[in-house]
Amino acid sequence: MTRLAGIAPVRNGRTFTFVLDRPRLLAIEVNGDRFRNLHLFANEIETAPPQPEDPDVRQKVPQLG
């Protein structure tokens, strides 16, 4: 990940943290395992995301009982 994309991850145990400067499509390999990697599709941050109370938003609420 770091080598090709110029991203500097920070490892803390089993967690990696990194910052993206723009939307990206990444394949994250751990220990060089290119066949079992994580595909990350990072879109732009929404500037006006839909709100639960908007008239066109439908929510599925779990029913208990």
Domain ranges in the chain? 2-42
Long-range contacts of 29-33 (CB under 8 A, 24+ apart): 29/1
Residues 20, 42 contacting (CB under 8 angstroms): yes
Over residues 8-57, the pLDDT tens digits come to 889 899 898 999 889 999 988 888 888 888 899 999 989 999 998 999 99
In angstroms, what CA-CA distances link 20 with 16, 45, 51, 61, 62? 13, 11, 25, 33, 34
Q: pLDDT value at position 57?
A: 92
Better pLDDT: 1 or 53: 53
Q: What is the DSSP letter of 16?
A: E
